[in-house]
A = this chain, B = another copy of it.
Amino acid sequence: MLKGRNLLEPMDFSLSELEEVFDLADRIIGDPAKYVHACDGKLLATLFYEPSTRTRFSFEAAMLRLGGQVIGFSEPNSSSVAKGESIADTVKTVACYADLAVMRHPKEGAPKVAAHSTSMPVINAGDGGHQHPTQTLTDLLTIRRTLGGFENITVGCCGDLKFGRTVHSLIKALSRYKNVKFILISPEELRIPDYVRKEILIKNGIEFEEVRSLQEALPKLDVLYMTRVQKERFFNEEDYIRLKDTYILDKAKMKLAKESMIVLHPLPRVNEIAVEVDEDPRAMYFVQAKNGMFVRMALIMSLLGIEG
């Protein structure tokens, strides 16, 4: 039972708890009309100390489509932060009004502090460069729904593997399943950090390769996880310009991939996937965005202890 629990890190839930959430998400996708009153009378607080329209929309739509309601802020300026209040106090007060809270915060660990201050469930919607567990749930649900499961698959991660937290979380999460192989495709400057390479991959005996060429990797992949090369991660403009176009997925490259391969991307994309790829049936990133809403619906219901 997930009732009353928090979701602070992608690994907070056991494999069977994850299955429980994904099974519910599947049922919601299959018959959304059945769930339009599931959260009647419940209130979600969205506490975004850092703007993130996409994530906020996804949570708010999830709650509203379950019949629940939402209060919240989308920017730090409109909050009480300026008055010197601690996160613990803010969350204790929010718990007077709401039944659960979603928090995005620029500081690592802030959602954890929040969760420990109250019995109200708290969901981490991104804390600094650290964790964004509902993105990982979204990625996993999409893989499960398209490939049928997580075992015996080869997953290519491409782009900014150094700073891209969604990739790190996905690797961590997938490393719990049997016979998952990773191909890590990035420029030298943006290789996966040691804490993932050593602490997760090598430590758990996961098979992986680090390569430079997207073309060479493509034919082997069941999942291609593309990531955005974020301008703000670079110290100078030159490096950014040189690297940002290195790994652009286009129609021509898609010809090298299996018919059954799926392309995922956490969005927003800049130009790492050409728009022409959108029409390819293997392009799953907008389906993935929609799954993000459904898995959040399942998560909200689970943490509130609502059967479905």
On whether the beta carbons of A93 and B286 are closer than 8 Å, the reply is: yes
Q: A163 an interface residue at 8 Å Cβ cutoff?
A: no
On whether the beta carbons of A286 and B92 are closer than 8 Å, the reply is: yes
Select one of B61, B83, B275 contacting A98, CB under 8 A: B61
Select one of B43, B45, B53 contacting A78, CB under 8 A: B53
Q: C-beta contact mask, A65-88 vs B, less than 8 Å → 1, else 0?
A: 100010101110111100111001
Q: A270 an interface residue at 8 Å Cβ cutoff?
A: yes
Q: C-beta contact mask, A210-245 vs B, less than 8 Å → 1, else 0?
A: 000000000000000000101100000000000000
Q: A295 an interface residue at 8 Å Cβ cutoff?
A: no
Select one of B71, B80, B267 contacting A64, CB under 8 A: B71
Q: A122 an interface residue at 8 Å Cβ cutoff?
A: no
CB-based nearest B residue for A95: B286
Contacts of A65 in B (CB 8 A): 41, 43, 69
On whether the beta carbons of B270 and A85 are closer than 8 Å, the reply is: yes
Q: A289 an interface residue at 8 Å Cβ cutoff?
A: yes
On whether the beta carbons of A289 and B77 are closer than 8 Å, the reply is: no
Q: Report copies per complex.
A: 3
On whether the beta carbons of A71 and B61 are closer than 8 Å, the reply is: yes
Report how far A97 CA is from B64 CA in the complex, Å.
10
Q: A51 an interface residue at 8 Å Cβ cutoff?
A: yes
Select one of B58, B84, B85, B228 contacting A97, CB under 8 A: B58
Q: A57 an interface residue at 8 Å Cβ cutoff?
A: yes
Q: A127 an interface residue at 8 Å Cβ cutoff?
A: no
On whether the beta carbons of B268 and A94 are closer than 8 Å, the reply is: no
Contacts of A94 in B (CB 8 A): 57
Contacts of A228 in B (CB 8 A): 83
Contacts of A58 in B (CB 8 A): 97
Report how far A89 CA is from B283 CA in the complex, Å.
14
Report how far A71 CA is from B293 CA in the complex, Å.
13
Report how far A33 CA is from B40 CA in the complex, Å.
11
Contacts of A51 in B (CB 8 A): 77-79
Q: A269 an interface residue at 8 Å Cβ cutoff?
A: yes
Report how far A85 CA is from B89 CA in the complex, Å.
36
Which of A43, A56, A64, A230 counts the most chain B CB atoms within 10 A? A64
On whether the beta carbons of A41 and B45 are closer than 8 Å, the reply is: no
On whether the beta carbons of B40 and A64 are closer than 8 Å, the reply is: no
Select one of B60, B77, B83, B292 contacting A75, CB under 8 A: B77
Q: A255 an interface residue at 8 Å Cβ cutoff?
A: no
On whether the beta carbons of A267 and B53 are closer than 8 Å, the reply is: no
Q: A251 an interface residue at 8 Å Cβ cutoff?
A: no
List the 10 closest A-B pairs by CB distance, nearest first.
A85-B268, A61-B97, A96-B290, A64-B69, A51-B78, A74-B78, A96-B289, A84-B270, A60-B71, A53-B79
